[in-house]
Amino acid sequence: MRVTLRVSLIAIAILAITMNFASAQTSAKKFEPSVTTFYWLQSGYLNDETDGSDPTFQFKRARVGIKGKVLDNVGYHLMIEGIHNGLEPRLYQAWIDYYLHPLANVRIGQFKYPFGLEAKPGFVFWKFIDPSFVTGGIVNNLGRINTGDSNGLFRDIGAMVSGKHKINEDFTAGYEAMVFNGNGIWNTDNNSAKDFALRGILEAPYGTHLGLAYYMGQFFNNTDSTDYDESAIGLEFMMEYELAMRMLRVQGEYIMATYKTSGADIKPAGYYVYGTYYVLPEMVELGVRYAFFEPNSDAATTVERTKTTLGATYYLGKNQLIRLNYDIIDDDVTDADNLMTLLFQITL
């Protein structure tokens, strides 16, 4: 009994000394806050073949920002667009991240809401210069369908929780859930309801990504000063894998929305699908995208917007590129003709 007790006391003493030493080593390694600066520049040349349009050089985007960590589990991000609407600088993104758990990371501030695969990454990672009709017509305007309302640039002010779980070696499941104003960047809410977006993701073998997103909220109708419900659902997929030693990517989305009104509901819907392939590894990438959109699929008179985009990109570096897009457009809404866009991009 005494021997057992003595051995136990010795074991406890050794464990206490070990823990104190580990604690001292940990405290000696103080966390150093990090600051990383970045900038994204895009300039280009636009040739609109619609009658009355003149070819022009243009500055599309000029963004600068900082990001980093203030604690091991607390990060931050700020980004300013220098030519918002071609007029004045505007803070596009500002958030704080709290890394609480792999299944519960919290983000608070102004950032992209979790709806829309094409719009999700920063524009420097897009495969085409401009988004598809359905991304621009639904995803970019959630919460703001009044004539004259500025779009939200895929962003809003709110709080999001997200996480991932590795099911096995081949499959990973994830989610993103956000509550936000639903009134665009740097705008307070204009009704008592908060908007909500939920996105579920499954990562599978061969670079396969499958996703389902749902949005619900309310918008304020300027015409009759009434709040109306709106909702949207999106299906997304992406596959990215090596084919003949070169990267092939196939991606697509189908999105539909419903806007309640005092009369008949408005139901926009559409899809896009595209493929890109490196004909020269990490240097030259070719792509084609087909996009279809109906501003109101329930309307008595069918109105459609279609666009086929042919693209070629020459990479000077990882995100330093020269990109050429030619859009073949059939648009019942704007009667726009075909469009050629040349883009020069530098990021750091």
The C-alpha angle with vertex 84 and arms to 78 and 85, in degrees rounded to 5, equals 160
Tokens 């086929």 belong to 308
Block residue for tokens 């005494």: 2
- Supply the pLDDT for residue 185: 87
Give me the residues paired with residue 173 across strands.
165, 202
Task: Give the pLDDT confidence score for residue 224 in this predicted structure.
Answer: 84
DSSP 208-230: EEEEEEEEEEEEEETTTTEEEEE
Regarding pTM above 0.85, the answer is yes
Closest Cα partner for 343 from 120, 123, 25?
123
pLDDT digits (tens, 9 = 90+) for 218-268: 988 878 888 899 999 999 999 998 888 899 999 999 999 999 988 899 999
At 266, which amino acid appears? Answer: I
- The three-state DSSP-derived secondary structure of the chain is CHHHHHHHHHHHHHHHHHHHHHHHHHHHCCCCCCCEEEEEEEEEEEEECCCCCCCEEEEEEEEEEEEEEEECCEEEEEEEEEEECCCEEEEEEEEEEEEEECCEEEEEEEEECCCCCCCCCCHHHCCCCCCCHHHHHCHHHCCCCCCCCCCCCCEEEEEEEEEEEECCCCCEEEEEEEEECCCCCCCCCCCCCCEEEEEEEEEECCCEEEEEEEEEEEEEECCCCEEEEEEEEEEEEEEEEEECCEEEEEEEEEEEEEECCCCCCECCEEEEEEEEEEEECCCEEEEEEEEEEECCCCCCCCCCEEEEEEEEEEECCCCCEEEEEEEEEEECCCCCCCEEEEEEEEEC
Query: What pLDDT was estimated at residue 18?
Result: 40
What pLDDT digit, counting tens, does each position of 8-38 carry?
Answer: 434 333 333 344 444 444 444 677 889 999 9
Question: Rounded to whole angstroms, what are the CA distances from 151 to 25, 37, 140, 234?
Answer: 51, 27, 6, 19
Burial of 93 (0-12, 13-18, 19+ CB in 10 A): buried
Please give the pLDDT value at position 8.
42
Q: What residues of the chain score a pLDDT lower than 70? A: 1-29, 86-87, 147-151
> What pLDDT sits at residue 203?
97
